[in-house]
Amino acid sequence: MAIQRTFSIIKPDATRRNLTGAINAKIEAAGLRIVAQKRIHMTPAQAGQFYAVHKERPFYGELCEFMASAPVVVQVLEGENAIAKYREVMGATDPAAADAGTIRKEFALSKGENSVHGSDAPETAAEEIAYFFAGIELVG
Ligand code: DAT
Ligand code: MG
């Protein structure tokens, strides 16, 4: 497996509770390098565009409001097999189903307020990185 990049968001439930550092420690302990990072506050429309793939799902409106409810930290993570590795570090969508030691098991509040986002495939990682970062901001 080659070196990959993936896209991460530290979500509003986590930034509100000052968990950015604790989450970054888990990312770095897993061997992933944070090659770009910034704190932004999305509008509901920007969150809606980011999560457009979920627009038919019943929780879509709630999800967009939540993602725009406070600042988030958007990141690009780089490393061996980074996309799958970060999904492992994150844990399952529902914290009740997440493995011990994962970010979501330790920090997530619910299925919706689940502390982090991570890309699920190379194509979505590339799209998501391009949505939030200019090439000049990626300093691998
Ligand atoms: P993941 O974030 O693990 O990739 P997903 O892509 O299926 O999960 O869903 C995107 C986000 O939508 C998820 O992180 C939280 C929210 N979500 C998913 N299922 C939900 C549900 N049943 N109720 C409320 N929010 C949900
Ligand atoms: Mg997803």
Domains and CATH numbers, the chain: 3-137 (3.30.70.141)
124 annotated to a ligand binding site? no
96 CB burial (10 A radius; 0-12, 13-18, 19+): exposed
| Displacement of CA 91 from its chain's centroid (Å) | 12
59 annotated to a ligand binding site? yes
Residue to substitute in 62, 86, 90, 111 for testing ligand 1 pocket (most ligand atoms within 8 angstroms of CB)? 111
Residue-level length of the chain? 140
Nearest CA to ligand 1 atom 17: 112
Q: Which two tokens stand for residue 101?
A: 């030691």
| pLDDT tens-digit series, residues 62-71 | 999 999 999 9
User: Cα(115)–Cα(109) distance, rounded to whole angstroms?
Assistant: 8
| pLDDT tens-digit series, residues 31-49 | 999 999 999 999 999 999 9
- Whether 139 has a pLDDT exceeding 90, the answer reads no
Beta bridge partners of 76: 7, 36
Question: What is the residue whose two structure tokens read 């932004």?
Answer: 40
Give me ligand 2 centre to Cα 44, in Å: 18
Torsion of CA 117, 32, 16, 130, to 10 degrees: -50
What pTM did the predictor assign? 0.98
ipTM above 0.90, yes or no: yes
